[in-house]
Structure 1
Amino acid sequence: MQTPNADHPIRIEAAPRRVRVRHMRHIIADSADVLVVREAALAPVYYFPRDDIEMGYFSKTDRMTHCPYKGDAAYFTILVHGEFAENAAWSYEDPFPAVSDLAGRVAFYPDKVDIYEVDETAGEETRRDVDEVVQHTDAGDGTTQKPRWAPNVKGPEA
């Protein structure tokens, strides 16, 4: 067991907003009680309390890994609408004392599920649709791409 230090810092803090996880267009986690782990130079990781996760979609796998700073991680596969996300989530069942706040929480691989913050004051998710973003980006000549971007859906009939 190693303790976080100046060479390998680990900060655990509350997420500033509600966070959701989606797999196959189904929300499998939704919480305002998410912890963000910032470990050394790694990308931040969201840890959700199990009470805010639809654990019925999860099955524990045989995969186990060991982190010298956090402990042994158990893994879960997610099954929604017949689609698997293999070993897409993990949990430190009995984390080391320096990160004991992670006990009873589950984290997700962002390349296997969608993880996003929700701005509850605006009533909207902070994640934006790709068509909205692309339409409003610079076309390279200082103008917007919107006039050249063909709609990919039809509007409602009048």
Structure 2
Amino acid sequence: MPKAIWNGAVLAESDRTVVVENNHYFPADTINKEYFTDSNTHTTCPWKGVASYYSIEVDGQINKDAAWYYPSTKEKAKNIEGYVAFWKGVKVEA
């Protein structure tokens, strides 16, 4: 089952991930919310829409903007709307 791990903590775990462009997107209800804080960062993907970000905090260490999600996607990406993906050193074990 895919898991997202950073700094020894399991950030998310699910057998319902969706892989898009080599990134595992985890359903929002499978993330461990205690590690996540909202970020003011936003980026735009031409076919998915506007992404929002979370910073991750584990044991006092912060990984800024290490997770992203699309709260409202364009039509072609509806299957990942609200799902969370990771980067910046977060290891996803499939």
Residue 35 of structure 2: which of 57, 69, 86 is its match?
57
What is the distance in 1 between the residues matched to 2:52 and 2:70?
Answer: 6
- The aligned counterpart of 2:62 is 84
Residue 37, structure 1, aligned to residue 20, structure 2: yes
Aligned-residue offset at 1:28: 1.1
What amino acid does structure 2 have at the position aligned with 1:114?
A: K
Is the partner of 2:26 in helix, strand or coil? strand
Report the CA distance between 1:56 and its aligned residue.
1.8
Consecutive unaligned residues of structure 1, counting only runs of 5 or more, are 1-17, 39-43, 118-158
Size of the aligned set, in residue pairs, is 94
Aligned match of 2:2 = 19
CA displacement, residues 99-123 of structure 1 (integer Å, 9 cap, x when unaligned): 10111200001x4211111xxxxxx
Residue 92 of structure 2 is aligned to residue 115 of structure 1: yes
The CA deviation string for residues 81-104 of structure 1, in whole angstroms up to 9 with x for no partner, is 111111000001100011101112
Runs of 4+ in 1 over 2 A off after TM superposition: none
User: If each structure's strand is expressed as a fraction of its own residues, which one has the higher value?
Assistant: 2
The C-alpha deviation readout for 1:44-72, integer Å capped at 9, x for no partner, is: 11100011110121111111001111000
Two-structure CA RMSD over aligned residues (Å):
0.9
> Which runs of 5 or more residues in structure 2 are unaligned?
none
TM-score when scaled to structure 1? 0.58
Amino acid at match of 1:70: K
Q: Scaled by the length of structure 2, what TM-score is found?
A: 0.95
Residue of structure 1 equivalent to 2:25: 47
Higher relative contact order (CA 8 A, sep 6+): 2
- 1:140 alignment partner in structure 2: none
Is 1:72 the counterpart of 2:55? The answer is no
